Structure 1
């Protein structure tokens, strides 16, 4: 692990893969950390210099006063690229990470080689849902995060996967219980306020959309909307719930590599 010193704290990151390879940035979902990509890193680091990081408010990264914005989280990615002297990179983001990817594609496309948007949407959820969750977490603190962990199994994984791979599902959901309540609430606000439905057409880089047939958070319909809005975007759908990279594993990993190598 390494740390980038920002003006208001540190951003935790990790790099794997050959130094001369193209850079692939991985952005985590709300309530997880860079470990959510463990299933992919061994394979992807054979072809790319894999740069994954803990989004502000998560893992080993800074927790600053909220609310956050997706623009702020996107600026953290650009600061990381600048600090590591990376001119351009592939970007793969899931859920909230996908919102960050959309912001980068709209506002900093010149820094991207490609964009992979996984289990995400141009607008995720309603203000009411997010405001209720923010209020619950800020009032309930650490116990509220434990309660969210217990409820997240059904949203993040299909029942069949959660039963057959209980240890793996527990490892991922435990990341949520360990997330700072203040950082989580601040990121919920960022997701709440993000709406790129009218801006997606500005994305000009090669784009892959990944959706899950059993994802009730960001549905295949959300994925198709993004595909239709982004010129030339590719679309793939797996039988998975919200964390398709964890649930699908090797087929997910291989499909993304095929896309990246074709860019």
Structure 2
């Protein structure tokens, strides 16, 4: 569906009915930079089978959501998701975000904790890298110069998934590659600018919702040390590294990822 906020469209979809029974809850899934809601294809069946409703949101400039001129701020990305939750009347949700989605989720959890039952932060940073300008500056300039994310697609895939995954799942690899290449250049650049200029480190010790932190054990884009850092900062944080996965453990190792997620949701069902 499409929702309108401040003259721009936000694309989302809700699978399953909104629960009237408190035991049947909504899980909100939010994707990484240069992805869209289809990044969660391996999670949706498991979540629905467990009795949850599933809400997927495309961040601004991604998927079916419009790309206003950048730069964007991490708090604004979180507030876009909060707008969707308010508009749909979901009540408190379990938020699951990966990479950019995990950073936007930290913003939402800190700014509007009453909207969340729990937050799962996957392969995400608690603050910008010290060398953010060196990492993100060339990528931002490249996509803006080309008017496309296509020049970054192959290198991004190599950071996200292992060669073994590519060999075993060529069709899924190609789906994700095409999504990266088709992402709005302005949406990518604006979100990359948000990643380049944020910090939640001082605020995370006051996080008021339960937090699970997951990371691919072989993630070079966001090393597991960053996930451990988040888990150490938040009250009663839990951290798990998923072996054999790079930046998208939900895609590369869905059985392990889904097991950890479903156990977490069951533990925080109250």
TM bucket normalised to smaller: over 0.9
Q: Could you tell which deviates more after superposition, 65-74 or 145-154?
A: 145-154
1:131 to 134, 137, 140: 137
Question: 1:102-251 maps to which residues of 2 (within 5 A)?
Answer: 102-125=106-129, 126-142=132-148, 145-239=149-243, 240-251=245-256
Q: Could you tell which deviates more after superposition, 5-14 or 31-40?
A: 5-14
The answer (yes or no) to whether the contact 2:123–2:215 under 8 Å persists in 1 is: yes
TM-score, L = length of structure 2: 0.93
Name the Cα RMSD after superposition.
Answer: 1.2
TM-score, L = length of structure 1: 0.95
State the distance in 1 between where 2:213 and 2:200 align: 15
User: Where does structure 1 lack aligned partners over 5 or more consecutive residues?
Assistant: none
Residue 178 of structure 1: CA displacement?
Answer: 0.6
State the distance in 2 between where 1:133 and 1:203 align: 32
2:44 counterpart of 1:41 = yes
Residue 131 of structure 1: CA displacement?
Answer: 1.8
Residue 7 (structure 2) aligns with: 8
Moved over 4 A (4+): none
Residue 161 of structure 1: CA displacement?
Answer: 1.3
The answer (yes or no) to whether the contact 2:143–2:189 under 8 Å persists in 1 is: yes
2:95 to 72, 91, 113: 91
User: Where does structure 2 lack aligned partners over 5 or more consecutive residues?
Assistant: none
User: How many residue pairs were aligned?
Assistant: 260
Residue 128 of structure 1: CA displacement?
Answer: 2.3
SS, match of residue 115 in structure 1:
strand
State the distance in 1 between where 2:252 and 2:17 align: 27
SS, match of residue 45 in structure 1:
helix
1:262 to 244, 264, 267: 267
Q: Could you tell which deviates more after superposition, 170-179 or 119-128?
A: 119-128
Deviations 1:226-249 (A, max 9, x none): 111011111111120001100001
Deviations 1:119-155 (A, max 9, x none): 111124312211221111111222xx22211111210
